[in-house]
Amino acid sequence: MHIQTEDLQELEFQELLAEITPHAFSPKTAERILNMRPLEMAEALPPLQKTSEYLTSFESENAIPFHEYEDIEAD
């Protein structure tokens, strides 16, 4: 599945990325967000499964302590 540039513009994909970017953990993460493009379905399914597992963990109050990790790029 290939999404045409015109379709991404119609969906305001870049605007969506611009909305997400201010919440990035670091400047490097913000840069990666701005460079994101839609994935093929086969590429998207494994990360979606991980997201589902994290959400289940979070909802059961067993969340991963994300805020405790330092940015390894900072050194």
Domain ranges of the chain: 5-74
Mean pLDDT of 55-74: 73
- Dihedral of CA 43/48/54/57: which sign? negative
Share of the chain above pLDDT 70, in %: 87
C-alpha angle 74-53-66 in degrees, rounded to nearest 5: 25
- Where residue 41 falls among pLDDT bands split at 50, 70, 90? confident
Mean pLDDT of 53-71: 74
Q: Report pLDDT for 10.
A: 94
DSSP 25: S
Q: What single letter denotes the amino acid at residue 17? A: L
In whole angstroms, give the CA distance from residue 67 to residue 28.
17
Mean pLDDT of 66-72: 68
Q: Report pLDDT for 49.
A: 92
